[in-house]
Amino acid sequence: MSLSEDIVSNLRGYSKAMYSTWFHYKPARLLLDGGEGACSTLGNFVFGIEEVFLTHGHYDHISGVPGLIYSRASARGDKEKPLTIYHPAGDELIRLQRDYVLKTCGRLPYELNWEPLEPGQEVPLGRDRDRGFVRGFATPHQRRSLSLGYRIMETRKRLRPEYGGLEGREIAAIAREKGRDAISETYDHVLLAYGGDSMPIDPDVVAGAEVLIHDATFLHRADREGNTHASMDEAFEVAEAANVKALALFHVSSRYTRREAEKRVLQLIEQYDFKPAVTLMMLWRKTTFRNGKIVRAQ
């Protein structure tokens, strides 16, 4: 299984535009958005979540947060495990929810932190970034308030390009002479980029991502009302420009049936001659397309 397939298979969640959106990404122990149904679905898996990353304060993305906080105090598991909720700085709706929770939750057996984030700010995962790190980026969604997308990243090492043409033993000789650090350089690799609700996001920000999860509220540009959500064809264009390994589509409007959405994905794969795998995340189901065919529905 490729890395991008592995990432998609580890994503569990729900998405329906204007109702609820949340994704649990188990390897990094985090929840991306917290729409209703997250904690009732996850049950005792709520203890597997150490960080929540909220993209913005709209109801369908935060309505499950109080339930998650309360259930971690009563479900069976490690009740002392801390929980941190990261959110865009200055979001009034999230501030109101935080105040409500703090007034009503009583004394929690664990440490609960709410951390505002600005675009570009980095959050280490695990001790000393052993589970990677998350970096937020501003997304075009709300007019008055900041909304954030998130990139789950890891730092990798690679051979410096100037040594690219050399043979293995030549590289080994230079490494012996100058040290390993002289022949390699580090770079940040995007494992999973989640745009949250948005118009098309800037491809440069998610360039080379293993998996891009992009807003696909409308199947066609002409269906759009207002300037807050992307269409499926736009999501394909972002993925193509960013050269991602796999594209996942979410936040599809309930005006479309699954059949209509699947048909549209097949049409766009053909239209763009799109090579990466595509996964449609509609309600509970993930439908994966490869080489212009549905390969898996789960």
Q: Which residues contact Zn ion (rule: CB under 5 A)?
A: 58, 60, 197
From the list 124, 118, 116, the residue with the least C-alpha distance to 153 is 124
Going through 106-147 in order, the beta strands assigned E by DSSP cover: 112-117, 122-124, 133-138
**Closest CB to Zn ion among residues 19, 133:** 19
Q: At closest approach, how far in Å is the CB of 88 from Zn ion? A: 12
Q: Shortest approach of Zn ion to residue 217 CB, angstroms? A: 8
Compute the least distance from the CB of residue 144 to Zn ion, in Å.
12
Helix (H) / strand (E) element for 154: namely strand 148-159
C-beta of 154 vs 223, nearer to Zn ion: 223
In the bound state with Zn ion, the residue whose beta carbon lies nearer, of 58 and 87, is 58
Measured CA to CA, the distance from residue 63 to residue 231 in angstroms comes to: 24
Q: Which is nearer to Zn ion, 10 or 228 (CB)?
A: 228
Least distance (Å) between residue 67 CB and Zn ion: 18
Question: Pairing relation of β-strands 148-159 and 293-297?
Answer: unpaired
Instruction: Report residue 248 as tokens.
Output: 């996942």
Tally of CB atoms within 10 A around 45? 15
Cβ 41 to Zn ion shortest distance, Å: 18
CA–CA distance, 229 with 225 (Å, rounded to integer): 8
How far apart, in whole angstroms, are the C-alpha atoms of residue 98 and residue 104? 10
Helices (H), 75-144: 92-104
